[in-house]
Structures are given as structure tokens and as C-alpha cells.
Structure 1
Amino acid sequence: MYGPAPSGWLLVALCAANGAYCLLRMRSHVAEQRRAAGGEALMGFGMAVMAVPASVFTPPAWAWPVLAAVFGSAGLQALWAARTGVRHLHHLVGAGAMVYMAVTMVASTSTSTGEGHGHSGSDVPLLTGFLLLYFVAYVFATGVRLVPVTAVAGGGREAGWGDRPELARACRLSMGIAMVAMLLAM
């Protein structure tokens, strides 16, 4: 991705930690939470890969189309799941944003002159602006919902790592913030 290496590495660490936590959440006793956690783990690890500073490691040219295909598949799965409820639409938008960033990286590496990637400050595409607005609104809405959360254990047993709603929301909040940072870096 773009930007200074220290902030890039912080973004990598944040996204990888979220991905790892989401893998822990997949141990939930609730099937819907396991499915959501799997998609969020994929998003976290994919964002970590995309956030690696280009000054440290430049992925091979085939990596961006592969990421676009992986997140395109995740988007199709989210679209299919959206028929049962609108809560899956956020995953669809997130997967679409990842496809968009991967396609942008393909385009920028094929037309790069060695002076950097991305758009100039005055050349922000409409889709980037829409995604920024969406994720900023998502971050605020998720942050507001995080404040009054109380943990609810299912079935009388103690809540495990996968069944802690406040931790899942904090994970989603930090991934939303990371998405805003990545979109701003484009």
C-alpha cells in the first residue's frame, strides 16, 4: 500500500490481530457468529497483506488479481447471504472495497513510473469518496453501539471468546478504522 512505513506496519499489526481474534471467534457455539467471524478473519488478514508498506515489500504482479478474485468470491458469498438479512450487506461493501483497492493496485503497478502509486490529492475517484463516507459512517455507528454493550452469555454457560459481543464490535470498529486509513492512503 502507500504511506510511511511505520504507520503501514501499525496497520498491518492491527489488521492481523483482528484476523487472529476473528479466528478465535470461529469457536463460538452459534453458527451465525462462526460464519461472520470467518468472513471477518478473511477481511482482517487480507487487509494486513494489502497494508504492507510498498517501500518494504512489493508483491509480485499476480498478487493483486488473486486478492481481487478472493474478495470477489467473498463478495458473492455476502451477496448470497444478504438474501436472509441486510446485516450481510456490510460484508458485501467491505469485500467490494477490497476488490476495488486490489484492482487499483493492479492499475497503478501497470502504469507506475517508479514515482509512487495512487491518485494525486485532487484526483479522488467518486467510488473512493463513496467508500470513505460509508466506512466513516460505519465507524461512528459502530462506536456508538459499542459504548453501552453488556455481555450476554447464551444458554446459561459462561460467554467464551467467540460469544463476547463487545469484543466482536470492537474488532469491527478497528477494522472499519483500518479501512478508512487504507482508503485515505489511496
Structure 2
Amino acid sequence: MHGPVTAGWLLVALCAAAGGYCLLRMRSSVDEQRGSAGGEALMGFGMAAMAVPGAVLAPPRWMWLAYAVVFGGAALHTLVSARGRPHRPHRLRHHLHHLLGTLAMVYMAVAMAATSSGTAGASGAHSGMSGTMTGMSVAGGIPLLTGALLIYYAGYVLGAGARLLPGPATAGPTGGGGAALAWGDRPELGLACRLTMGLAMLAMLLTL
């Protein structure tokens, strides 16, 4: 029983750390780092809250609905901001990835709200990774949609991990040669945070 609880708290810690670093990126002098940091911080802290082990906290149904509203609003904001300005292809891909992430959070919150009323009495008896997302029934969610999201995030995690592998030395992303970058400006740390949240999303989707 300690394994799932430990895994849940590890997931909470990783997501909270990623969210905290995204807050630091909001003060970056690099526009590309600063532009999406707020939305990613919300994702990180939201996933940390949803990953609290079920043995510690069993949120009521209205809380899952509140999660759905918050991330639905974040999805709408991402969509509006993406349409309101031209983007280079990689920035557009990033906006689409963030939009999919917020919609996935809405999907998981709605699935948990739909099952929480029927599983409230049994949530304390859940074991395995189902304890990571409080009160989740293994029958929650739409299998085809869950499977498609799992495939997407598995591919994203593999791609992000490959981009973090050491490669040939190149000039810094800001064109400053070998000048040291501030912690909030380092693109590899931003990518590492997105990789962490991708792994967390995979773990959460597996509980549906």
C-alpha cells in the first residue's frame, strides 16, 4: 500500500516543482520562454493538486467540476491567444500542445466528477495507481479517447526526451555565444518541465 501513496506524492512533488519553475520563467527576458509560462504553471499546479493520493484527500464532486471550469477557461484563453497573433510553426505546435493539455485536464476532471458520487464510499479501498487520482474508478472516461491521449503523450514524452539528449555544441539560443543564461531563460529546463508534465499526464490517464 505504501508504493502507490509514495508514487502519488512523487508525482505531486514533480508537478509542483515544474509549476514553480514555470513561475520563474514568467520573469524571463526571453519572450519565447515567458509567453507560455503562465499557462504551464497552471498546468503544473493543477496536476499536482489532482495527483494528491486518495488516502489523504477525497475531494467532493463540485471540486472536480471546478477543475473542469478552470481548465476549460485556460483552453479558451489558449485558443484565443493562438488565433490573435501569427506564430512560427514551432510556436503554433506548442500552442496546440498546450491546448490539448488543458482539454485533457477538463476531460479527466469531468470523468472524475461523473464517477466520484458512485465511488465516494469505496475510494479508501482503492489500490494501485488509482489511488493517485482520488476516487477514480477504472471504468471512468471514454476508452477510445483515453487511448488516443495516451498514444499522443507517449509520443510527446519520447520526442521531448530525445531532444534533451546531449548533442553537438551550438551557439546559445539567444545568439549570445557562450554567455550564461539565467535560470528562467534556459530552454532545456523549460523542455524538461514539459517532459515532466507529459509523464504526469500519462500516469493520470492510465488511471481512467
**Common fold, TM-score beyond 0.5?**
yes
Q: CA deviation at 1:155?
A: 6.2
CA contact (8 A) 2:33 2:190 kept: no
If the length of structure 1 is used for normalisation, what is the TM-score?
A: 0.89
Partner of residue 43, structure 1: 43
Q: CA deviation at 1:113?
A: 5.9
Cα 1:103/1:91, change in 2 over 3 Å: same
Worse overlay, 127-136 or 55-64: 55-64
Partner of residue 101, structure 1: 108
CA contact (8 A) 1:151 1:165 kept: no
In structure 1, give the amino acid aligned to 2:146.
T
Partner of residue 144, structure 2: 126
For 1:82 and 1:177, the matched residues in 2 are separated by 25
Task: Pick the aligned partner of 2:93 from 69, 86, 98.
Answer: 86
Identity of aligned residues (%): 60
SS of the equivalent of 2:36 reads helix
Whether 1:112 and 2:119 are equivalent positions in the alignment is yes
Encode CA deviations 1:3-60: one digit per residue, 9 max, x unaligned: 9211111110110011111111111112342121111110000000000011111123
SS of the equivalent of 1:166 reads helix
In structure 2, give the amino acid aligned to 1:103.
V
Whether 1:152 and 2:172 are equivalent positions in the alignment is yes
Partner of residue 133, structure 2: none
What do you get for the CA RMSD once the two structures are aligned? Answer: 2.2
In structure 2, give the amino acid aligned to 1:126.
L
Structure 1 residue runs of 5 or longer lacking an equivalent are none
If the length of structure 2 is used for normalisation, what is the TM-score?
A: 0.80
For 1:151 and 1:27, the matched residues in 2 are separated by 23
Structure 2 residue runs of 5 or longer lacking an equivalent are 87-91, 124-135
Cα 1:8/1:170, change in 2 over 3 Å: same
Worse overlay, 147-156 or 83-92: 147-156
